[in-house]
Amino acid sequence: MKIFTLSIRALKRVLFEGILYFTNRFVAHIPFHFIRLSFYRFCLGFEIGSDSLIFMDAWFDTRSNFKMGKSSVINQKCRLDNRGGITIGGNVSISAEVCILTADHDLQSSNFKGRHRPVNIEDYVFIGTRAIVLPGVTLGKGSAVAAGAVVTKDVAPFTIVAGVPAKPIGSRPDELKYSASYHRLFF
């Protein structure tokens, strides 16, 4: 009985890891949005709003734990560590090669304990190319993260941050009215 239980556990792990491998190595390279989005919605259980897009080469770390509002865009080659949960609002623009992390290790723990903390990105947020958002961060409505910034703490609504670690450098208008969604044929 014990061997049978181990075999089922091993089979489940292989299946789980196989789905992620297939997602990140094959599905992420399909040049048609509707195929990728359908796979993400129906096979991974992602909640993706209408008119939202995830461009090619996005990398996910697990099934589920991912919600994205309407008219938002994730550009190519983004790393989306959704193990702790990622929630993205509407009209959000995430530039190329952005890294959003929800898991890390407690460096003060004697056993290097792993931990998961969700990332929340509210409506009308802009994240510049190659920015990094660390676990547990909330990006307030209308905030903007400059290219290459490392966000270690929550960002207040309509605040622009830049640098390593990211610090406030300006503000955005408090009434934003645009759609972040834009369609490209093969991305």
- Residue 115 belongs to domain with CATH number: 2.160.10.10
180 found inside a domain: no
User: Does residue 105 carry a catalytic annotation?
Assistant: yes
183 found inside a domain: no
Could you tell me where the DSSP H helices lie in the chain? 2-25, 33-42
> Which one from 29, 105, 116, 183 is the annotated catalytic residue?
105
32 found inside a domain: yes
User: How is residue 170 written in tokens?
Assistant: 């300006």
pLDDT in tens, 56-94: 999 999 999 999 999 999 999 999 999 999 999 999 999
178 found inside a domain: no
| Separation CA 67–CA 42 (nearest Å) | 13
150 found inside a domain: yes
| Separation CA 21–CA 14 (nearest Å) | 10
pLDDT in tens, 4-60: 666 888 888 888 899 999 999 999 999 999 999 999 999 999 999 999 999 999 999
In the chain, the amino acid numbered 150 is: V
Q: Give the contacts of 42 (CB within 8 A, at least 6 positions apart).
A: none
Q: Structural domain tally of the chain?
A: 1
112 found inside a domain: yes
148 found inside a domain: yes
Residue 29: domain span: 2-171
| Separation CA 133–CA 28 (nearest Å) | 21
Indicate the pTM of the whole model: 0.92
Closest listed residue to residue 40, CA positions, set 86, 95, 1: 86
103 found inside a domain: yes
